[in-house]
Every structure is written in structure tokens, then in C-alpha cells.
Copies of this chain bind each other. A is one copy, B any other.
Amino acid sequence: MIKVGIVGGTGYTGVELLRLLAAHPQARVMAVTSRKEAGMKVAELFPSLRGHVDVAFSTPDEARLSECDVVFFATPNGIAMQEAQALLDAGVRVIDLAADFRIRDVAEWEKWYGMAHAAPALVGEAVYGLPEVNREAIRSARLIANPGCYPTAVQLGFLPLIEAGIVEPDHLVADCKSGVSGAGRKAEVHALLPEAADSFKAYGVAGHRHLPEIRQGLARMAGSPVGLTFVPHLTPMIRGIHATLYARLKVEADLQALYEARYAGERFVDVLPAGSHPETRSVRGANTCRIAVHRPQGGDTVVVLSVIDNLVKGAAGQAVQNMNLMFGLAEEAGLGGVPLMP
């Protein structure tokens, strides 16, 4: 059994990790830290876990994280970068679900995240945890930068087009819609039900922190910089991301065949039949990305529809997938749950 520690277990990615790991046959959560809730049973704060999770929150000191095999950081940005080195030194692998190690250009990271980076030396070592792109590197990594939710949906959606080099890379558009859980379990007025329900809006059009992460990922696939307009929207639902992607085709291609071939061996990417429209609920609670590719009216604009559950393939599920790879387990261990529908 892999001994797991979770730093920051009171947010949505933390509780989702607990849900997934409770069903994992080869992992056991030894400690969940929360300074604020230390001493309280996790299942008292989250009654959905009653009967499934018996651990209590502990302070970071009590948690003895250095005795774990792997520690997940389900914390705000800026925490993992302060604590990762000590854990790595103790032989513990680290998976950061926040953004601390996602951007290789430290100056760029500091600009978007508004703080000095505490561990720039680790940025180069960290492996970007998108298994469909970096599987082999993940297997041998000590430190994983788990991708953001929007970046996962957008990169998996654009990947076959970019790798094949068949679209113009300078004017990509990613129009993305996220459920409100993407904003985290923080007391903020704009995420109150009376503010966010029965309404729809864009936000961060001038610039969102996931933009440099997506651009970096797409550029790596393309082998050269890309131009991207990224517009996130707040959607009146709990979970789910729907990315609607637009690119201009510069070479003729059988798009459906391209996508099916690229993702043929991928357990967690599902290319839908031609003409499909994936719903976010079709992946609710599951570690799956479902994709459909369209070419409306046979023109030169490709439209890709890519959906994930932001808390699973967009966060905790992908983190578990990365853990499985790092420890030589079956990649799908603990990730076989069927989406909840309706």
C-alpha cells in the first residue's frame, strides 16, 4: 500500500482526492493536514465521506509527511514551492495540484502569480503531469506539476491538430466554460448561489493565469510559439469544463481519423463518433476527457469540443493517474468509477 499524505484537505481538490483514494486498492491516506481544522474528523466536515474515510485533519507538524511515499499539495498557489524540497530530500515524491511548478519560465510565473518563486531550482526538475503527453517522464519523476483544469481540457483538445501541424498556430481560440467549483471552496461573494446561479458571464478576458500554461504546452507540442486567445466563462453548474476550440486548417486532413489514431491507446481520452456533442455530465465524477471534432459546413475552421470534470481529470483524478504512473501501478487503478448521470 502506498502511503499518501495530503496537504490542504479542506478545499474541493482535497476532498476529491479523498473520495478517489478511498476507492483506490493500492493507496492509503495516512495524513490530511489543515491548520484550521486540525483534530476534526475529515468526515465531520464532509459527511459524504462518512463510512469511507476515518482519518482526522492534523497540523503539518503532526502529520509526519516525511514518512509518506507521496504527498499531494491541494493547497493555494505558493505553498508547495516552500515545502517540496524538504519532502524530496526525505525521499518523498510530490504532486502539486496548484500552479507552483507548471511554468518553466520563472519570471513569467512570477508575473502572472504575483509573488517571488521560492524554489526556482525545482521548476526545471518538475514534470508537467499530462500523461497523454509526458507519460514516460512522469513514471520516473520525483516532482509533478499537475496541470490546471482549463489547460487539461484545452491541450487535450488541440493536441492532435498541433502535433500534426495542420492548423495555423498563430490565431487559436479557446472559449472555455467552467463550473463554479473551479473557483475553489472559498468564501467569496461572486461564487454565492444567488450570484452565480441562473446567469452566465466571461471573466479574465484581459488575461487569466492559465493562459501562459496553455501557451507553453501548445508551443511544446508545436515546436514553436503559438498565438492563443483564451476566454474563460463562469457557468451555473457545480462541476465540469467545456472547451470549445477554434483553429484554421491549413492542410486537408481526415480529422476524425487523426483524433482516433492519436488517442487510440489512451484509457482516459474518449474520441466520440463524428457529429457528436459531448456533455459535461457525461464525465461527471470520472477521469475522462471526451472529445468531438467538427468542421462546420466543410469550411476551413476546425471546431473541437472537449469536456472534463474539472475536479477529476482537471485536478484530483489526474493527480492520482500521475501517482499510479510514478509507482508503477495500473494507470487506471482507483479511477474506474462510472460517471454519475443524471
Residues of chain A touching chain B, judged by Cβ–Cβ distance below 8 Å, are 12, 15, 19, 22-23, 46-52, 171, 173, 175, 177, 179-181, 185-189, 191-203, 205-207, 227, 229-231, 233, 235-240, 242, 244, 246, 248, 270, 272, 275-286, 288, 290, 294, 296-297, 299, 301, 303, 305, 307, 311, 336-342
Given contacts A237-B236, A337-B337, contact A342 B281 (CB under 8 A): no
B231 touches A303 (CB 8 A): yes
A247–chain B nearest beta-carbon distance, Å: 11
A139–chain B nearest beta-carbon distance, Å: 23
Please tell me which one of the listed residues B203, B227, B240 contacts residue A200 in the complex, with CB atoms under 8 A apart. Answer: B240
Which B residue sits closest to A204, measured CB to CB? B277
How far apart are the CA atoms of A177 and B342 in the complex, in Å?
Answer: 18
Copies of chain A in the complex: 4
A207 touches B297 (CB 8 A): yes
A47 touches B194 (CB 8 A): no
B229 touches A301 (CB 8 A): yes
A305 touches B205 (CB 8 A): yes
B19 touches A341 (CB 8 A): yes
How far apart are the CA atoms of A50 and B339 in the complex, in Å?
Answer: 10
A216–chain B nearest beta-carbon distance, Å: 15
Q: Which residue, A171, A173, A185, A296, has most C-beta atoms of chain B within 10 A? A: A296
Residues of B within 8 A of A301 (CB): 171, 173, 229
A229 touches B303 (CB 8 A): yes
How far apart are the CA atoms of A199 and B179 in the complex, in Å?
Answer: 9
Which B residue sits closest to A285, measured CB to CB? B340
Residues of B within 8 A of A285 (CB): 285, 340
How far apart are the CA atoms of A192 and B157 in the complex, in Å?
Answer: 29
B193 touches A242 (CB 8 A): no
Residues of B within 8 A of A48 (CB): 281-284, 286, 338-341
Given contacts A19-B340, A177-B177, A270-B50, contact A198 B197 (CB under 8 A): yes
Please tell me which one of the listed residues B186, B227, B231, B286 contacts residue A244 in the complex, with CB atoms under 8 A apart. Answer: B231
Given contacts A238-B342, A340-B284, contact A279 B192 (CB under 8 A): no
Q: Which residue, A242, A307, A342, has most C-beta atoms of chain B within 10 A? A: A342
A290 touches B47 (CB 8 A): yes
Q: Can you pick out 21 interface pairs between chain A and chain B where the beta carbons lie within 8 Å of each other? A: A12-B194, A15-B341, A19-B339, A46-B341, A47-B272, A48-B281, A173-B173, A179-B194, A179-B200, A180-B193, A180-B197, A185-B342, A187-B192, A194-B239, A198-B237, A199-B284, A200-B242, A231-B244, A233-B244, A246-B246, A340-B340
